Copies of this chain bind each other. A is one copy, B any other.
């Protein structure tokens, strides 16, 4: 029993964080927003880091890592508000296809030549897919209407929900950092607004929700890595905890920014919009609440002090 992210995991995530911080800052988001939303050079950079193949088995040209490793990277993609379809293809599609024994495209995915738009019944749309385009509030998302024949595979849903939750905690981290920096810099009434207790306590409250959502997400990823039989409940818990924490953080961050936060001139809006998108994606709040409710109140899950992990 060791609830601990390994040094390897943290080093890998830190590396991705630093890479994206250096190559995918807000100025890139603004450029993509004015342009076509996607940039092959960014994708190429992710490929050179080996990220598309992160979960591809080693014998098919990948790194053969685990969902928990991927979740940590997904959080960094959220922190950077990454628009390229890395998470969907590499962290959702790959483990889904692999579990189905469908390994045809693995090496093409690992080499970055192929991306996999995912159509699931629970979403009305397909991200980075073909078909009639739909306009998301998030200017960096490319949505197409979902086909009639979209699958309702629950394993795919759990993978999508887990990775959405992981992105959401990274998004919330980024919004918190922006709000804290703004609160230090913006002065009113002769002092930085961050010195006002009301501002401090808004941010502290949102921080508590976020910090207690993170271990829930890591636990859900590990539950899927271990294929424990109630992993779905932990995925739903993760999506709820991460989504609620991100929504609260978005509302807190815009309040701290005041009128500036309501504009396109500070970059906060990119992260707020991504959080709104992912909160509804891969199972909305009520869907996941019902899965937890059925398990906990319905009684199909063992609960209590002796059942933290079993």
Seen from chain A, the residues whose Cβ lies within 8 Å of a Cβ on chain B are 196-198, 201
Contacts and interface: CB of A to CB of B under 8 A. Distances in A.
A197 B197 CA distance: 6
Nearest to A202: B201
A228 to B, nearest CB: 35
- Pick the 3 closest A-B CB pairs, nearest first: A197-B197, A197-B198, A198-B201
Contacts of A201: 198, 201
A41 to B, nearest CB: 48
Contacts of A197: 196-198
Nearest to A198: B197
Chain A at the B interface: SS class: helix
Nearest to A201: B198
Nearest to A199: B197
A221 B197 CA distance: 41
A251 to B, nearest CB: 16
A196 B304 CA distance: 40
6 contacts: A196-B197, A197-B197, A197-B198, A198-B198, A198-B201, A201-B201
A105 B197 CA distance: 59
Contacts of A196: 197
A194 to B, nearest CB: 13
Nearest to A196: B197
A277 B256 CA distance: 39
A75 B196 CA distance: 37
A198 B197 CA distance: 6
A196 B198 CA distance: 9
A43 B201 CA distance: 48
A243 to B, nearest CB: 24
Contacts of A198: 197-198, 201
A147 B61 CA distance: 78
A196 B200 CA distance: 12
